[in-house]
Chain A
Amino acid sequence: MSPLARVFIANRGEIAVRIIRACRELGLETVAAVSAADQDSLPAKMAERAVCIGPHAPAQSYLNIGAIVTAALGTGCDAVHPGYGFLAERPELGRACAKHGLVLIGPKPEQIAWMGDKLSARQTARELGIPLIPGSSMVRDVAEALSAAESVGYPVLLKAAAGGGGKGMKTVMAPENLQTVFLEATGEARAAFADGRLYLERFIPNARHIEVQILADAHGQAVHLFERDCSVQRRYQKMIEEAPSPVVSPGLRAEVCQAALRIARHIGYESAGTVEFVLDQDRGEFYFLEMNTRIQVEHPVTEMITGLDLVQEQIRIAAGEPLGLSQEQVTISGHAIECRVNAELAEAGFRPSPGRIGQWRPPEMEGVRVDTHCLPGYTVPPFYDSLLAKVIAVGRDREGALARMQEALHRFQVEGIDTTIPFLSSVLSHPDFLAGKISTRWLENVFCAGD
């Protein structure tokens, strides 16, 4: 494969900025796709060129494969980076790119499709002997769901086969609730993914979200970059992530990392990817959850403890280069924490607060990194997600990273819109979080309930 020269950025916000930086460091030119609402955005200013691909509505801009491929070709790009969200896990984008001679910086369409379907992903894990949360295959109707729930044992979690991001996911406490919840989940799954298929799993009350970062090249080499712990969640949306996990033992770490590598190797995965697991803290067992075939929002915590640049690695892999490192060369150094600063008012049920930012002063401190697309005077448009910035703090150990993060949040000054900075700060100082004694339900059931 010929080396790449010019990359089309088919995304917006902080990840567009992140990708432009990685391209620059690799000596690649960039063209940023922008909607009409993002024409004055930081990625538009940073890229060699910005192209207005459509109006503010994502369906006509950031989700518009025709416009993206046409714009990439029309600006002489040879590769497309989809970032996360939007088209990142749509095999159609990779197919359209391949058809027109563009390199998609990500896995192959068939790998995205294989892992994107939760039922086929579970089937693969089962064949490889990787533990799964006890659950069913597809449940076609309420009667099938009732009998499956009976054998799995209540409470159960109904999940969308095409799912992600918590959509179409519902807890069922007892058989008498199942019919209502089944219909709700089907409707939600249909609305979100145009696919109403559901399956169910045993509900694990004391769970942690553990995910393993992997890198795999086109020459059959794959390495893992250890785990991230993303258990501070609200409605299945991650808020605080850290690496390594404060509760994963060396033995368990080796097990989950090897399980993630087995899946990546089995499907011939090529790119950066993440295999997600649920850790049942009561039983000390982990189960395969799903695989995300993209760069993830929380990738910086892994970068901070391994010293690797995941986006650059992703681009090199897409250019056909072999991984420049062996598993022995990937080591953990210190501890990293990431806080997602959103334009939301936590006290008002996390109500989104778009609008014009007046003062914007991110912390400038040693051991603290801020990934953002915001600037003083920037107007946060109401059409997209509410992520403003990711604050990443690294320390020699967890305590050191936490202390730095607290100080960084304290110094972070934003005026004009509401942000989650005060909320994040209070989560970080809670004794349960400090002690690492939390689960994925903790934020909603304990922290928010206790206010």
Chain B
Amino acid sequence: MGLTQDDVLNIMKMLENSSFNELHLEMGGFRLFLSKKGCSSAARLPDQGAGVPVRSVMQGTNAGNAPQAPAAAAAPDSAENDPAIPEGQIPIKSPMLGVFYRASEPGARPFVEEGSLVDKGDTLCIIEVMKLYSTITAEVSGRIAKVCAQDGQMVEYGQTLFLIEPGVDADGAQLS
């Protein structure tokens, strides 16, 4: 742990006297979440909770890049916590609960990056449910504005995976 108990108490006092409601602090493997108004839903599960074995859903894949924290901590609470969608962008939502993979295999190049131009039907990612792999494809042509899910993490049904800015084709030309 990177902080002593006194450090944490000091941070709590600082938050108490500040105008902020919440504080998230990450230092290496250490995470601290403070809130003035009780728990926020996304942070209620303690990462190190009660000696729960930390299971990686990525067993056997991507071993060099395994997540440090349990998947529970990183995945957003539910579809309703989706980030606000900027005008001119549309969300690509997960059609199922499963594990989100950005590449065809560990170490391979991701199918898309932020800024990538995709054609309708291009592969964007893979969702795995107990060794069953489903390919998620672009519903429209356009530019990937944002990758909203983390590689190797669980995504829920209806969770936004990508934001796509339609109307831009793979050659970068604006479609009329």
Contacts and interface: CB of A to CB of B under 8 A. Distances in A.
Give me the 3 closest cross-chain CB pairs, A-B, nearest first: A74-B154, A66-B129, A52-B156
B157 A76 contact: no
Interface in A26-43: 29, 31, 34-36, 39
B131 to A, nearest CB: 9
Given A36-B158, A66-B129, A67-B129, A29 B98 contact: no
A50 B78 contact: yes
A49 B41 contact: yes
B1 interface: no
Interface in B126-175: 128-130, 132, 153-154, 156-159
- Determine the main DSSP class of B at the interface with A: loop
Given A54-B96, A67-B98, A48 B157 contact: no
B68 to A, nearest CB: 13
A51 interface: yes
Interface in B111-128: 128
B140 to A, nearest CB: 22
Nearest to B159: A52
Contacts of B128: 70
Contacts of B99: 70, 74
A67 B96 contact: yes
Given A29-B52, A49-B45, A51-B156, 12 more contacts: A48-B45, A49-B44, A52-B157, A66-B132, A67-B97, A67-B129, A70-B57, A70-B130, A71-B154, A74-B153, A75-B71, A75-B72
B106 interface: no
B49 A66 contact: no
B79 interface: yes
26 contacts: A31-B72, A34-B78, A36-B79, A36-B157, A49-B45, A50-B77, A50-B78, A53-B156, A54-B157, A60-B96, A64-B97, A66-B129, A67-B157, A69-B130, A73-B55, A73-B71, A74-B99, A74-B154, A75-B45, A75-B71, A75-B154, A76-B52, A76-B54, A76-B71, A78-B53, A100-B130
B84 interface: no
Given A6-B49, A53-B97, A96-B130, A74 B44 contact: no
Output the residue of A31, A66, A76 with the most chain B CB within 10 A: A76
Interface residues of B, number: 33
A416 to B, nearest CB: 24
A66 B132 CA distance: 9
Given A52-B159, A96-B130, A76 B79 contact: no
A436 interface: no
Contacts of B71: 73-76
Chain A, interface SS category: mixed
Contacts of A51: 78, 97, 154, 156
B50 interface: yes
Contact of B72 (A53, A54, A69, A74): A74
Given A6-B52, A50-B77, A70-B129, A76 B45 contact: yes
A53 B157 contact: yes
A69 B70 CA distance: 15
Interface string A375-397: 00000000000000000000000
A67 B99 CA distance: 10
A5 interface: yes
Nearest to B47: A76
B44 A48 contact: yes
A49 B96 contact: no
